[in-house]
Amino acid sequence: MNVAERTFVLLKPDAVQRGLIGEIVSRFEHRGLKVTALKLVRVSRSLGETYYAEHKGKAFFEPLMSYIAAGPVVAMVLEGDGAVAAVRKMMGKTNSAEAEPGTIRGDFALTIGRNVIHGSDSGESAKREISMFFKPDEIHAYTRIDESWLRE
């Protein structure tokens, strides 16, 4: 039995600046993932530090903080069967140089330090990240017209 799952996606400042918002959101919509929350926000230093807490102390942490705070980002919640894994696969490898063509990073990015997108790596991470960017009443429950055609 398939169970709808939530994941968190963030389009990083380079995606916004390079005009890739529509293209990337389109891929998720066409795959059948439902956008249940979406907004343009700035990531403050303290939010960035909490968000990327697992990388604190690493050599790339400071550059990562400057990057993520360099401009507005698009935060969203996507919902669908196996949403966490589906989005991770669509994103491609963390290092864009190694990401397969056909993936978001493989099609729109060249380096690890400007890899256009973040997606939760587990259901637990999704919960944590969603709560950092959205209040419960900013996440909308609704039925998409094609939903009955997305599974048997």
**CB-wise, 100 or 147, nearer to Mg ion?**
100
Q: Where are the alpha helices (DSSP H) in 35-93?
A: 45-51, 61-68, 83-91
DSSP 3-state of 95: coil
User: In the complex with Mg ion, which residue's Cβ is closer, 124 or 146?
Assistant: 124
Strand, coil or helix: what is 17? helix
Q: How far is the CB of 113 from ligand DAT (least distance, A)?
A: 5
Site for ligand DAT in 41-70 (CB under 6 A): 55, 60, 64
Residues between 89 and 128 with contacts to ligand DAT, criterion CB under 6 A: 94, 112-113, 115, 118, 121
**Annotated catalytic, 55?**
no
Cβ neighbours of residue 104 under 8 Å, at least 6 residues apart? Answer: 24, 27, 90, 91, 92, 116, 117
Point out which residues bind Mg ion (CB under 5 A): 121
Catalytic residues: 118
